[in-house]
Structure 1
Amino acid sequence: MFDALFAALKHHRDRALLAAWVSTGARAAELLSGTESDADPGEQLITVVRKGTRESQALPASPDTFVWLRLYQEESFQAGVPRGRDKPLWMTLRRPWRPLNYHAARAMLMRAQSLLGSNWTLHDLRHTASYRMAQDPHLPLTHVQWVLGHAHLSTTQIYLAAGLDEVIEGLKAFHARRATGWATPAVPAPGYKPESLDVLFGRGW
């Protein structure tokens, strides 16, 4: 679904934003408040101001984020968008030029999904990034905690839970094993009536 959503976007700015959200795990508002100086293509870092602590934190972003960001900046500068290290990193696509706000970014995402029949939210993109990081066996969970800005490791651990597909496949396998009778004891347990065990273990389903 993420690939389809990316393909539905029409502008380099929106592609850069989506790639940044899904690779950094930053909150939507944290990323939108950045300035041009907060993007460092050489180090592949984007600095955000954390919602809770109000501290600046440099977050690694994927290489394709900076490819789309460069394309967006070249396009916007040619159109006349003001440039400078203190200028907003994300701007509207039409005059009068204004910083892109949360509501406009949300509307952009909804428009891209109108033909897909999906209903992703901006916060879902952070969840996607979090889940991908947490599922990587080579990335310590404490690193993921730092990137996401979680105060407690227990908050980060929720992303270790099995995905929906895994749950469904696991339950299908469970029912398949039940159909072969693996859950039925070969010898009745002492003190239990056979008819009670028939009910308990599903004999005759």
Structure 2
Amino acid sequence: MNYTEPDESAGSLDDGPEDRLVDEATAALLGEFERHLAIERNLSEHTVRAYLLDVTGMLEHAARLGVTEVAAIDLAVLRSWLANLQTRGKARSTMARRASAVRVFTAWLRRTGRTETDAGSLLLSPKRAKSLPSVLRVEEAAAVLDGGHEEPGETTPVGLRDTALLELLYATGIRVGELVGLDVDDVDDERRVVRVMGKGSKERTVPFGLPAARALQLWRTQGRPALATHRSGPALFLGARGGRLDQRVVRDLVHRRVAAVPGAPDMGPHGFRHTAATHLLEGGADLRSVQELLGHASLSTTQIYTHVSTDRLRTAYRQAHPRA
């Protein structure tokens, strides 16, 4: 079961302070489930936390119904839990994500002999509303990238870093976590490719163009040495104090740069990823190649970008054709 990549615009996965109804035995069980997710399934720390929060919410709802043993959780309990989420105004995408996490949990319970049946296998989650991601137009993306260039003689290490990471984000469409996880040796200047460690520790090689190559060269020769300390290690992108760059710094940078472009939709690094994929397809790249570049496990995940391109084409047609 693939877990949906969290939307960075969303808030905390926790719903807020609630009375914790999970007893010590169940907490220990959740600890074993956490190890299964982290070690056997090799999921990221953020994804593991999301699973645990979602499953804990279901267990607390079951406890309120008087069901305190996981072996007694049945389809009726799970449906009641989903219904409760709906009455609390949760979005269909949120309910679908939480149902997915619970299905993984109940399947693990059955596989490890803790339950005789897998109640989650019968649980149908709400269909997600098909929403098209916001993307920048080509000229808007260019404005975001060009807007950060400093005047000659006024170049700062942080400015060189920001230009390089924005160019690389747009050139490759990599995830923000993949970006900050890059090491210096992951960049192959001769072939103009970067080695990326994606979800599930799957490695892929992604090409980048001349603008990104030039920006990376300036950053590594002039910017990075000025920020590097004993804390830097092999990290490609560094924070102001010399450590590996934090994702939050990248998110703040992208939001600020995009906000400075008139008419551009608000977005973070993941929106930049959507933009890169859309522009690749609009430029003639085939879907399978874009799937490989983005590191999508399923082609169906990549196909949303064809809908984005078609929607943009339809809008342009209505605006430009006299008989539209």
Q: Which TM-score applies when normalising by structure 2?
A: 0.48
Deviations 1:148-189 (A, max 9, x none): 111222222221223554222333578x548xxxxxxxxxxx
Q: Tell me which of 126, 133, 144 is aligned to 2:273.
A: 126
After superposition, the Cα gap between the structure-2 partners of 1:113 and 1:173, relative to the gap in structure 1 and judged at 3 Å, is closer
Q: Tell me which of 212, 231, 248 is aligned to 1:65.
A: 212
1:159 is matched with 305
* 1:6 pairs with 2:151: no
- Please give the alpha-carbon distance, in whole angstroms, between the structure 2 residues aligned to 1:151 and 1:22: 21
Deviations 1:130-157 (A, max 9, x none): 11222233x3321111111112222222
Aligned residues: 173
Deviations 1:25-60 (A, max 9, x none): 111111110111111111111111112x21221111
1:190 is matched with none
Does the 8 A contact of 2:161 with 2:224 survive in 1?
A: no
Does the 8 A contact of 2:224 with 2:237 survive in 1?
A: no
Q: Tell me which of 230, 241, 251 is aligned to 1:106.
A: 251
Does the 8 A contact of 1:8 with 1:113 survive in 2?
A: no
**1:59 aligned counterpart, secondary structure:** strand
2:188 is matched with 40
* 1:90 pairs with 2:232: no
After superposition, the Cα gap between the structure-2 partners of 1:173 and 1:15, relative to the gap in structure 1 and judged at 3 Å, is closer
After superposition, the Cα gap between the structure-2 partners of 1:152 and 1:44, relative to the gap in structure 1 and judged at 3 Å, is same
Q: Which has the larger radius of gyration?
A: 1
Does the 8 A contact of 1:19 with 1:62 survive in 2?
A: no
- Please give the alpha-carbon distance, in whole angstroms, between the structure 2 residues aligned to 1:45 and 1:58: 6
- Please give the alpha-carbon distance, in whole angstroms, between the structure 2 residues aligned to 1:34 and 1:159: 26
Task: Compute the RMSD of aligned alpha carbons.
Answer: 2.6
After superposition, the Cα gap between the structure-2 partners of 1:155 and 1:110, relative to the gap in structure 1 and judged at 3 Å, is closer
Does the 8 A contact of 2:163 with 2:215 survive in 1?
A: yes
* 1:76 pairs with 2:223: yes
Does the 8 A contact of 1:91 with 1:100 survive in 2?
A: yes
- Please give the alpha-carbon distance, in whole angstroms, between the structure 2 residues aligned to 1:115 and 1:122: 15
Moved over 4 A (4+): none
After superposition, the Cα gap between the structure-2 partners of 1:88 and 1:78, relative to the gap in structure 1 and judged at 3 Å, is closer
Identity %: 26
The one-letter code matched in structure 1 to 2:286 is: P
Does the 8 A contact of 1:44 with 1:61 survive in 2?
A: yes
- Please give the alpha-carbon distance, in whole angstroms, between the structure 2 residues aligned to 1:134 and 1:143: 9
- Please give the alpha-carbon distance, in whole angstroms, between the structure 1 residues aligned to 2:315 and 2:212: 33
* 1:142 pairs with 2:288: yes
Return 5+ residue gaps in structure 2 as ranges.
Answer: 1-139, 150-158
Q: Tell me which of 38, 42, 54 is aligned to 2:201.
A: 54
Q: 1:9-24 residue pairs with structure 2 within 5 A?
A: 9=148, 11-24=159-172
